Amino acid sequence: MAARFVLPALGLLSALSSTVDAALPTITTKGTKFFLDSGAQFFFKGVAYQLVPEDPLIDTAQCQRDATLMQQLGANSIRVYHVNPWANHDGCMAAFDAAGIYALIDLDTFNTTVTQTEPMWTQAQFQAYAHVMDTFSKYDNVAGFYIGNEIINSAGAPTLAAPYIKASTADLKAYQQKMNYRRIPIGYSHADVLGLRPGLQDYLVCGDSADALDFFSLNAYEWCGQQTYETSGYAALENATAYYPAPIFISETGCNQPAGRTFADQNAIFGPMSTTWSGSIIYEWIQEENQYGLITYGGGNTNALNSAAPAGGFVRSGTPTPVTPDFSNLEAVWKTVMPEYSTSAAAYSPNVTPISCPASTAGGWEVDPNGPIPTLGAAAVTAMSGYTAPAATGLSATSSASSARSSLTSAASSAASSASSLRNSLQSSAIATGAAAVSSASAAATSAKPNAAGKQVSGVSTGLGGLVLGLLMWL
């Protein structure tokens, strides 16, 4: 997935180190790679981190405890799926910075994400995403923002949400520039569905750079048990993405069938795949019902139906205790694995060929390559740039958010009419057939992959009603 280079030893240690003496260097993209501003190439050795549904980055003491153990593990990054932009994150972000750990932050929430079946991109959604960007752009250890996670997530599912992913990308990139924020990369995390590749991954980086992703990532669970680079499908994955014009990495991995994960896939990701792939994120930090956790906080599984029980029935704070043997296995792998192919920013001259937007095909990719991108446009970006968000507060942040409720609710209540005509236009040009069947390897991996309930501690309704109600509850 990339050309072979040799990274100076000191630069490589800097890129992968989990200890720091001062604020971490910022991360940017160049060509198909991530680089620290020190010039060293960066590879993700991360863990998915969502202790509680709303926001795991507001309890400083808990973040400090977790960051210390992550440092022992060898992690240099976390992925956080949902945050509350009205809360104060200074303590947690400082704790992870001190441990040499970067954060990937999702801009969407349970209630504001673009949906697969009723896609829309409204002013209310834009405001919600922008508030997250406002809150986290000041932290040097934010490595990237996610515009969405597995929005299109099954073979045969409609792909008409894709233009809305592009639209949200375009508006947030424009807002980032308008606000003179650091150019933190904006990307997308894709479900590992063979029938949707390469259509979606190509579409999200094709055409105008204004609406193209800065990076792409894949939630991949193919490597289960005693598989190899070839039998797992990883060799095919490397071959299928070697042309890709943007940085790419694995944003979830860690098949847990059979139990007792060895994380042998890390040797491939940091070995032959390091020509193209920039590391991986292990799913996940906390042990839950799905049995993907690296640590537990004690107490085991409590009765989730008890009103006093923690979310999902699992204790979500306290002293983290490693899960055996998963934690020690990953720690041992990360201590020894180093990127086989790497470079420095100074030595790297990108040779990137832009790709054409994929054509619509019967039985597969449904999106018109020349169809409209439903951005809100410059006026919405300018209006949002003049909005002053309430000051961040402590754990609840409820009173700070109340002043913004009316504007978000008003925009959400008119979302149906603003999105309807464009959705109909996109749908009229669609091909109403399913995507190609996934391979046997992907099918096996899907059965081992955590479902939405496994990734999210609480569910939400979708569509306009869910968006309006969700925004009110979220605020």
Active-site positions read: 150, 252
Handedness of CA 403, 405, 408, 413 (dihedral sign): negative
d(Cα 161, Cα 163) in Å, to the nearest integer?
A: 6
Q: What does the H/E/C string look like for the chain?
A: CCCCCCCCHHHHHHHHCCCCCCCCCCEEEECCEEEECCCEECCEEEEECCCCCCCCCCCHHHHHHHHHHHHHHCCCEEEECCCCCCECCHHHHHHHHHCCCEEEEECCCCCCCCCCCCCCCCHHHHHHHHHHHHHHCCCCCEEEEEEEECCCCCCCCCCCCHHHHHHHHHHHHHHHHHCCCCCCCEEEEEECCHHHCCHHHHHCCCCCHHHCCCEEEEECCCCCCCCCCCCCCHHHHHHHHCCCCCCEEEEEECCCCCCCCCCCHHHHHCCHHHHCEEEEEECCCECCCCCCCCEECCCCECCCCCCCCCHHHECCCCCCEECCCHHHHHHHHHHHCCCCCCCECCCCCCCCCCCCCCCCCCCCCCCCCCCCCCCCCHHHHHHHHCCCCCCCECCCCHHHHHHHHHHHHHHHHCHHHHHHHHHHHHHHCCCCCCCCCCCHHHHHHHHHCCCHHHHCCCCCCCHHHHHHHHHHHHC
Report d(CA 182, CA 173) in Å as an integer: 11
Q: Let me know if 22 is exposed, middle or buried by CB neighbors in 10 A (0-12, 13-18, 19+).
A: exposed
